[in-house]
């Protein structure tokens, strides 16, 4: 599907890795398929449920709030939404700690609210992707409470990763693995089960201690998740975002992690995970309407990412290499060429993303302030010109920056386990209207669960609606233009020779996308064609200002 070829003139320095990418791309003559599945070129809007819109006025976003704001999303021009977990949960990791996978947490509404929101989304032509959390449950899940009440070796304990400790009396964790959120990845059961009068076994949690890892070697676990998939597919969801998709299987010997940043990570990306996705692929195919799943898989290379989207596995995998690239034309070029080469190997399309609820918002990553915003708009314009699908994170269409959340307001378990600032700063509730918090987040005056900054008064949806030069209008225009000029065009990408500090890509023979990451205005290649859209003001004399991207139509 996606294809990549090299620069037609020797203008820019190409790396050895790029040569490999070009050699790997063999499918030059694949015809453009006008009946491609919807998810291959869609734009999905990520809703972090507790921070999007509050329908009942308790200061926490909910499903009714999402439904009320669907017309806003339809106007924005997205194709689908991904909603982060809204299932029953003690909320110790804001829903990524699920205690009942088949119900809606009362904090967010009810199953009836969900059905109503789903129906309204479909009526507006918006597909709905829900989050599935298969790596771990909440420690309040009935399976885990049963495991705690049962003896070592019992069927109940076999659903999780329980082990005896090492050292004298089993007082040390079974291995040296660390939690992603900080601290050891093991917690010892105190007492344990009814007949146990001493400290007991340890259980594995790659995240918070309230998120025990499931034992995917146990077929009962796989059966349960297939049933959960069907539960939501039967309700009509269009797809799933698979949390920690690369994590499910841990080697049975639980070998220690070797020291050093580059040492292999025994807990991630084990070959057995792919068998799970082959089974899920078959289930998705049983349903009509092109149901899909997107992997959250933090893998080492584009090639290992692409293994999750082989023809008989999942449909999309987030390209976190794009999100992690620094502000540099060379870095962007390497990611684009390596990604397109990797996905073409498995005949799949790429899935681009710049921000989500786990990372610092990209306006801030690119330097913050006016410069950060200019770069963020340039990067998103470049991203949306690339072949494949893209995800945008709520609030990026308003140009929101990361917020410095004070320690007393922080809720992210990362902060409590590691002392690091954590992820709350990208999760501050959306400002909709008005000149002071809660900025129309809910129907009344209840302050949202995280405080919103005073500067956001100029960034509300209402304020930006009224300003034709706002970031919101820019996103609407880009999404509308994308629909108009990229629908059905070739996925073949050619890297053009271009000025230092810039990256110029030609898509088929229809579109040229250029980004200037350098510090000087750069000449636009002569072959670029007619200007279609730019992320900032253009210079009249055929040059692209720094921190700006533009699309040109070659026809
Ligand atoms: C990835 C999710 O995006 C993140 O928010 C969560 O904390 C971890 N997985 C654990 O579920």
Is the CB of 411 within 6 Å of ligand 1? no
Is the CB of 320 within 6 Å of ligand 1? no
Inter-residue contact 493 to 382 (CB < 8 Å): no
Q: How far is CA 128 from the centre of its chain?
A: 15
> What is the set of domains in the chain, with CATH numbers?
3-138+218-465 (3.20.20.80), 139-213 (3.90.400.10), 492-553 (2.60.40.1180)
Q: In terms of pLDDT, which residue wins out, 1 or 108?
A: 108
Which pTM was predicted? 0.94
Is residue 481 very low, low, confident or very high in pLDDT (cuts 50, 70, 90)?
very high
Q: How far is CA 503 from the centre of its chain?
A: 25
Kindly report, residue by residue over 266-296, the tens digit of the pLDDT: 999 999 999 999 999 999 999 999 999 999 9
Residue 378 clears pLDDT 50, i.e. is over it = yes
Closest CA to ligand 1's atom 5: 358
How much is the pLDDT for 2? Answer: 59
> Which candidate, 3, 39, 118, places its Cα nearest to that of 294?
39
What positions carry a catalytic annotation?
A: 243, 286
Q: Ligand 1 centroid vs 172 CA: distance in angstroms?
A: 27
Closest CA to ligand 1's atom 11: 96
Residue 17 clears pLDDT 70, i.e. is over it = no
Is the CB of 97 within 6 Å of ligand 1? no
CB atoms within 10 A of CB 160: 24
Residue 493 clears pLDDT 90, i.e. is over it = yes
Q: Is 300 exposed, middle or buried (0-12, 13-18, 19+ CB in 10 A)?
A: middle
Kindly report, residue by residue over 314-340, the tens digit of the pLDDT: 999 999 999 999 999 999 999 999 999
Residue 32 clears pLDDT 50, i.e. is over it = no
Q: Ligand 1 centroid vs 133 CA: distance in angstroms?
A: 9
Q: Ligand 1 centroid vs 243 CA: distance in angstroms?
A: 6
Instruction: Kindly write down the DSSP assignment for every residue of 369-437, as one continuous string.
Output: HHHHHHHHHHHHHHHHHSSSEEEEETTGGGTPPPP---GGG---HHHHHH-S--SGGG-PPPP-SSSST
Residue 495 clears pLDDT 90, i.e. is over it = yes
Beta-carbon contacts of residue 215 (< 8 Å; ≥ 6 apart): 158, 159, 160, 161, 221
Is the CB of 207 within 6 Å of ligand 1? yes
Residue 14 clears pLDDT 90, i.e. is over it = no
Mean pLDDT of 399-405: 98
- C-alpha 182/C-alpha 169 separation (Å) is 25
How much is the pLDDT for 261? Answer: 72
Inter-residue contact 83 to 428 (CB < 8 Å): no
Mean pLDDT of 4-20: 38
Is residue 24 very low, low, confident or very high in pLDDT (cuts 50, 70, 90)?
very low
Q: Is 130 helix (H, G, I), strand (E, B) or coil?
A: strand
Percent of the chain with pLDDT over 70: 93
Is the CB of 412 within 6 Å of ligand 1? no
Closest CA to ligand 1's atom 6: 96
User: How is residue 242 annotated by DSSP?
Assistant: E
Give the number of the atom of ligand 1 that is nearest the alpha carbon of residue 96. 11
Best residue among 243, 297, 420 to mutate for probing ligand 1, ranked by most atoms within 8 Å of CB: 243
Across the chain, mean pLDDT equals: 92
Q: Ligand 1 centroid vs 356 CA: distance in angstroms?
A: 11
Residue 4 clears pLDDT 90, i.e. is over it = no
Is the CB of 514 within 6 Å of ligand 1? no
Please give the C-alpha separations between residue 223 and each of 95, 130, 492, in angstroms, as whole numbers. Answer: 22, 19, 40
How much is the pLDDT for 197? Answer: 66
Q: Ligand 1 centroid vs 266 CA: distance in angstroms?
A: 19
Q: Ligand 1 centroid vs 254 CA: distance in angstroms?
A: 22
- Angle CA 8–9–15, to nearest 5: 90
Is the CB of 96 within 6 Å of ligand 1? yes
Is residue 13 very low, low, confident or very high in pLDDT (cuts 50, 70, 90)?
very low
How much is the pLDDT for 543? Answer: 94
Residue 20 clears pLDDT 50, i.e. is over it = no
Mean pLDDT of 110-129: 98
Give the number of the atom of ligand 1 that is nearest the alpha carbon of residue 181. 7
- Angle CA 82–88–89, to nearest 5: 95
Is the CB of 298 within 6 Å of ligand 1? no
Residue 15 clears pLDDT 70, i.e. is over it = no
Three-state SS sequence of 92-116: CCCCCCCCEEEEECCCCCCHHHHHH
Is residue 192 very low, low, confident or very high in pLDDT (cuts 50, 70, 90)?
low
Residue 354 clears pLDDT 50, i.e. is over it = yes
């Amino acid at each position: 599907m996606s294809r990549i070829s090299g620069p037609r003139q020797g203008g820019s320095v190409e790396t050895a890795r790029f040569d490999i990418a070009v050699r790997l791309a063999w499918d030059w003559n694949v015809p453009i398929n006008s009946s491609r599945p919807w998810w291959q070129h869609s734009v999905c809007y990520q809703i972090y449920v507790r921070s999007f819109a509050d329908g009942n006025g308790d200061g926490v976003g909910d499903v009714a709030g999402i439904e009320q704001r669907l017309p806003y999303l339809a106007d924005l021009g997205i194709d689908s939404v991904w909603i982060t977990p809204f299932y029953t949960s003690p909320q110790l990791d804001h829903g990524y700690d699920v205690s009942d996978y088949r119900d809606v947490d009362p904090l967010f509404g009810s199953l009836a609210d969900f059905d109503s929101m789903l129906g309204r989304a479909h009526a507006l032509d918006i597909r709905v992707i829900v989050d599935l959390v298969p790596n771990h449950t909440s420690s309040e899940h009935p399976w885990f409470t049963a495991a705690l009440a049962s003896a070592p070796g019992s069927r109940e304990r076999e659903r999780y990763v329980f082990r005896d400790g090492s050292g004298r009396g089993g007082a040390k964790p079974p291995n040296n693995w660390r939690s992603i959120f900080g601290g050891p990845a093991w917690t010892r059961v105190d007492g344990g089960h009814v007949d146990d009068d001493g400290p007991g076994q340890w259980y594995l949690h790659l995240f918070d201690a309230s998120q025990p890892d499931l034992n995917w070697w146990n077929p009962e676990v796989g059966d349960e998740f297939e049933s959960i998939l069907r539960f939501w597919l039967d309700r009509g969801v269009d797809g799933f975002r698979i949390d920690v998709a690369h994590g499910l299987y841990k080697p049975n010997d639980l070998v220690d992690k070797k020291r050093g940043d580059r040492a292999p990570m025994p807990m991630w990306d084990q070959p057995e995970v792919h068998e799970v996705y082959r089974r899920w692929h078959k289930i998705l195919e049983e349903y009509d309407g092109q149901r899909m799943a997107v992997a959250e898989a933090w893998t080492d290379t584009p090639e290992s990412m692409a293994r999750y989207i082989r023809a008989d596995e999942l449909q999309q995998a987030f390209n976190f290499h794009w999100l992690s690239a620094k502000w540099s034309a060379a870095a962007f070029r390497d990611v684009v060429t390596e990604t397109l080469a990797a996905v073409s190997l498995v005949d799949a399309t790429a899935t681009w993303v710049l921000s989500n609820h786990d990372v610092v918002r990209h306006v801030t990553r690119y330097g913050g302030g006016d410069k950060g915003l200019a770069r963020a708009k340039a990067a998103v314009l470049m991203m949306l010109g690339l072949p494949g699908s893209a995800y945008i994170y709520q609030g990026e269409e308003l140009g929101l920056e990361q917020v410095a959340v004070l320690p007393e307001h922080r809720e992210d378990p990362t902060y409590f386990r590691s002392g690091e600032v954590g992820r709350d700063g990208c999760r501050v509730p959306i400002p909709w209207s008005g000149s002071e918090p809660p900025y129309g987040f809910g129907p009344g005056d209840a302050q949202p669960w995280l405080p919103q900054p005073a500067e956001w008064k100029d960034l509300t949806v209402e304020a930006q609606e009224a300003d034709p030069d706002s970031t919101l209008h820019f996103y609407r225009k880009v999404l509308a233009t994308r629909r108009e000029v990229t629908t059905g065009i070739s996925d073949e990408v050619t890297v053009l020779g271009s000025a230092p500090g810039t990256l110029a890509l030609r898509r088929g023979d229809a579109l040229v996308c250029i980004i200037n990451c350098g510090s000087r205005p750069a000449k636009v290649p002569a072959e670029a064609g007619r200007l279609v859209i730019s992320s900032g003001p253009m210079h009249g004399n055929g040059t692209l200002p720094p921190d700006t991207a533009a699309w040109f139509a070659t026809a």
